[in-house]
Amino acid sequence: MPLINVIPGDKIPVAPMNVRLPAWRVPGWLLVFWWLARGLFRLTVLAVRYWWLTGPALLALWIRAEFGGLVLAGVVTTVAAGCVGWWRWHPVSWLRFGWYPLVARVRTLAVYRPRWASVMATCGLATVFGGDRYVPRLLRVQCDRWGDELTVRMLPGQIPDDWGQAAERLAYAFRQDTGQARSTDRPDRVVVRFMRRDPLAGTVAPLPVADVPDLGGLPLGVREDGEPYRLRLAGSHVLVAGATGAGKGSVLWSLIRSLAGGIRSGLVEVWAFDPKGGMELAAGVPLFARFAYDDADGMAGALDDAVKRMRMRAARLRGVTRQHVPTVEEPLLVLVIDELAALTAYITDRKVRDRIKESLGLLLSQGRAVGVHLVAALQDPRKDVLPFRDLFPTRIGLRLTEPEQVDMVLGDAARDRGALCDRIPETSPGVGFVVLDGVREPVRVRFAYLTDDDIRSLGRTYRRLDHAQEVTA
């Protein structure tokens, strides 16, 4: 036995303990049984999850075993005939409760589930913590005529804006055309919509004119889900921005058309300003109470008159009501300006320009409650051109030339939320995104297109009953 030299003051090393664990022998049949049980459990889970496949399959096998192939063929034929009859008798309910739910389940199984984890990882929406991978959970898929809506439970720490920034990448990953994310009433969930077909690909015809316009929802076009788009004018001002040929005229004339019934009856009074010499709005002169063009001093005077009317109306309504209700005696006053930048930035006379800016600031800040509304269109959304864009609660962005202009018009991070105004093709005039104050997600809309003949016919049919009109050249 070797000797160990111990130096005084040193610790004596302790020999490691050798522990021999008991050997457990597992019978081979138990391993096989465990493997089969695990496989059976997984099959049961899959059968319950995809009951809409396993249920009919088991029922078909049972009918085939009990009654034979002829009976099975008869049952299948009866079910198919019932579906066809349902489709022919009431196609709306068939599509809503029969066809689209089936399409959603098939697309969930064939398109989204197999690639979900990998797409989440490559798009930066999955994470790893403590060696474990965490993936957002796909809760539900809904389909309609135009696309798919995916309801997803987000991971802790995610917000809908994260999904809005990744929506375009998600659309390409799942081989869809476009993607957009929006929040829900539950803070842990987000809805991602993918478009398979574009309902806004075709031109929208002029919409019917109501005898009494609904100021809480004026029909102007079609949304991307195929439903009519209604703009709330009551208590709001509207800003329209778009490049040359983007379709600003479609927005203005659709709005004027939706007010035409009120114009004829006297409930609505429209003052039109066309600094480009009257080229855009002159066709609708019979609809306007005042029409100003070319003369900058005359347009400044008309805006001053609007401010005076606003203050007089505010004095009459003070202490009576907080919101103006249009009447023939006190009609709704709508100021339509075709090119706002021509009034705020391009006028060389500084005094006139300052008058116009002062009037516009007063109208935008005080006019909504007393029934004075401003609808303005412009091409250049720079801050020096439009210093009070935040006073427009409703903002519409048509096709824009640069990505930075989207946030200038619609607000910070609007492009990240899906308002891709710079991606709108030149072949789609009248397509744009609408943003409302207090609403995070933009709405994609195509506004109705009115030809020159439509505008002239509108002027003849719905011209003001009193033909008195002031025209400022």
**Which residue ranges are tagged as binding site for ATP?**
242-249
Instruction: State how far the Cα of 299 lies from the Cα of 309, in Å rounded to an integer.
Output: 15
E strands, 186-289, are: 189-195, 218-223, 228-231, 238-241, 268-274
Beta-carbon-side half-sphere exposure of residue 54 (alpha carbons within 13 Å): 9
Instruction: State how far the Cα of 117 lies from the Cα of 107, in Å rounded to an integer.
Output: 16
- Which amino acid makes up residue 11? K
Q: Are 243 and 249 in contact (CB under 8 A)?
A: no
Q: What is the DSSP string of 269-282?
A: EEEEEETTTSTTTG
Instruction: State how far the Cα of 308 lies from the Cα of 270, in Å rounded to an integer.
Output: 16
Query: Cα torsion for 206, 210, 216, 218, to the nearest 10°?
Result: 10
- Which amino acid makes up residue 98? G
> CA gyration radius for the chain?
33
Q: In terms of Cα–Cα distance, which of 282, 308, 297, 389 is closest to 343?
A: 297
Six-digit token pair at 395? Answer: 């903002």
Residue list, annotated binding site: 242-249
Long-range contacts of 382-389 (CB under 8 A, 24+ apart): 382/408, 383/408, 384/345, 385/340, 385/341, 385/344, 385/345, 386/239, 386/340, 386/341, 386/344, 387/344, 387/357, 388/360, 388/361, 388/364, 389/239
SS3 state at 394: strand
